[in-house]
Amino acid sequence: MKTILITGSTDGIGKLTALKLAKDQHEVILHGRNQEKLNTTITELKEKTNNDYIKGYVADLSSFGSIQKMTDQLKEELSKIDILINNAGVFKSRNQQNEDQLDLRFVVNYLAPFLLTNQLHDLIKKSNSPRVINLSSAAQSPVSLNALIGKEIVPAQQTYAQSKLALTMWSFYLAKQWDFANVIAVNPGSLLNTKMVQEAYGQHWSSADKGASILYDLASSNQYANSSGKYFDNDKGKFSQAHTDAYDDNKIHQLIAATKSILSV
């Protein structure tokens, strides 16, 4: 039995992935922003899978303090984490910035996974063969460090693409730093039928299950046991090249330095 944490797992591909993994009788740790919705999802998944090893934690991933509170709870209550799927993401939001006046897309899509993953280092390291799966996107755009630190405002679509490239750059960096873990960045598929995509574009190309299926495979299949530091493009159905900046050590160094400064880590 693996212990698997999936952020943003009360709907969309996060919930579908949790369902698939729970059917295999793994211990599945859900995450959501709303306690009531989280409880409903836990009950639903337990009934559908006959798996009692499902529980959840609440955190607002736009708040660094809320992330810290959740990771403190996880460190108290779990003995290890075998698989971490950084699935939660945001495109459109009523609030464009968080409490620190940082763009919400950068915070939820990149800074939150960075902070959460590093806070859980010790739990992840206790696994025999840990995997960290970071949800990137086909949309990847060069990162403006001024936009990242809140000194420049750019349009939502551009910020989203920048946040996803930042996540991919960090994934490659983490793969080199954490030689004990298998770190994979993945584009789960463009315009999947999820709430986020419908709110942003009002249309979809593929079912949400297409994304959930590749997340399930990346999390559980031996086929991907030695794929650390790679980018899987599910539009192509194979490992592929990410944006060229993801392979630029100087730009990665600048990104990580700015990130650590924001998060004071």
pLDDT digits (tens, 9 = 90+) for 63-98: 999 999 999 999 999 999 999 999 999 887 777 888
Mean pLDDT, all residues of the chain: 92
Q: Cβ-count burial of 247 within 10 angstroms (0-12 exposed, 13-18 middle, 19+ buried)?
A: middle
CATH of the domain at 90: 3.40.50.720
User: Model-level pTM?
Assistant: 0.94
Q: How many domains does the chain have?
A: 1
Residue percentage of the chain with pLDDT more than 90: 84
Q: Of residues 4 and 195, which shows the higher confidence score?
A: 4
H or E, element range at 102: none
Pairing of strands 83-86, 3-6: parallel
Residue 32 pLDDT greater than 70, yes or no: yes
Q: What is the mean pLDDT of residues 214-218?
A: 96
pLDDT digits (tens, 9 = 90+) for 108-160: 999 999 999 999 999 999 999 999 999 999 999 999 999 999 999 999 889 99
Report the half-sphere exposure of 190 (CA within 13 A, side-chain side).
8
pLDDT band at residue 28 using 50, 70 and 90 as cut-offs: very high
**How many Cβ atoms are within 10 Å of 199's Cβ, its own excluded?**
12
Residue 191 pLDDT greater than 60, yes or no: no
Residue 101 pLDDT greater than 50, yes or no: yes
Instruction: Choose among 224, 226, 228: nearest CA to 215.
Output: 224
- What is the structure's pLDDT at 209? 73
Active site residue 160: yes
**Which is the catalytic residue, given 53, 57, 110, 160?**
160
- What is the structure's pLDDT at 195? 56
Residue 205 pLDDT greater than 50, yes or no: no
- What is the structure's pLDDT at 211? 83
Residue percentage of the chain with pLDDT more than 70: 92
- Helix pair angle (12-23, 35-49), 10° resolution: 40
Contact by Cβ (8 Å): 164, 109: yes
Look up the domain containing 204 and give its range. Answer: 3-263
Q: What is the mean pLDDT of residues 25-42?
A: 97
